[in-house]
Homo-oligomer: A and B are copies of this chain.
């Protein structure tokens, strides 16, 4: 194994996903992931703090994009508009990787500790959205509610996107979920 490896990160992620799918998350070690990727275990830990992080390393990019998008939303945009548009913009982090997202969702659904981590990350995304809305002078309660609603809309759009009947890309699916929430809320 050479010390330098082109796209070691990408190959580690790919190898990890294969092994998790083959054996189950709990039955895979970092050393085995490194071996399949053709790098040392030390290289694995240069990119990831632990094997769980392989599945969650896009969450930071997602959060950054959501926050930046809310911060730069039109001043006239309402809270749910700002947060909905932000999630549509953040979809670009996952767009084009539907098979990966599907495989990841299957792995997470089959492991309680991963489901917990996913919930924590989603709660952090809702809190970050609410903070960004407060910077736009949205009152506390409305900011939190819109932040939570944004995550609910993202989750619904995401589930539809990785399902079998999605007709559009992730951004379109999130847009549909946002419209659906508006419809549910308008229904007396």
- Distance in angstroms between the alpha carbons of A132 and B152 in the assembled complex: 18
Identical copies in the complex: 2
Q: A116-B116, A155-B148 are in contact. Are A141 and B79 (CB under 8 A)?
A: no
Q: Which residues of B lie under 8 Å from residue A181 when comparing CB positions?
A: 145, 149, 185
Q: A123-B119, A141-B159 are in contact. Are A146 and B81 (CB under 8 A)?
A: no
Q: Which residues of B lie under 8 Å from residue A148 when comparing CB positions?
A: 148, 151-152, 155-156
Nearest B residue to A160 by beta-carbon distance? B141
Contact B119–A188 (Cβ < 8 Å): no
Q: Which residues of B lie under 8 Å from residue A172 when comparing CB positions?
A: none
Contact mask A120-133 → B, CB, 8 Å, 1/0? 10010000000000
A interface residue count range (under 10 / 10 to 19 / 20 to 34 / 35 or more): 20 to 34
Q: Is A187 an interface residue (CB 8 A)?
A: yes
Q: Is A96 an interface residue (CB 8 A)?
A: no
Contact B182–A186 (Cβ < 8 Å): yes
Q: A80-B187, A148-B156, A186-B185 are in contact. Are A180 and B141 (CB under 8 A)?
A: yes
- Distance in angstroms between the alpha carbons of A184 and B129 in the assembled complex: 15
Q: A116-B120, A120-B119, A148-B156 are in contact. Are A184 and B141 (CB under 8 A)?
A: no
Contact B156–A144 (Cβ < 8 Å): yes
- Distance in angstroms between the alpha carbons of A143 and B170 in the assembled complex: 20
Residue among A156, A177, A186 with max Cβ neighbours from chain B (10 Å): A156
Q: Is A68 an interface residue (CB 8 A)?
A: no
- Name A142-188 residues within 8 Å CB distance of B: 142, 144-146, 148-149, 151-153, 155-156, 159-160, 177, 180-182, 184-188
Residue among A81, A181, A186, A188 with max Cβ neighbours from chain B (10 Å): A181
**Please, could you name 11 A-B residue pairs with CB atoms under 8 Å apart, sorted by A?**
A80-B187, A81-B187, A81-B188, A116-B120, A141-B160, A144-B159, A145-B153, A149-B152, A149-B185, A152-B152, A185-B185
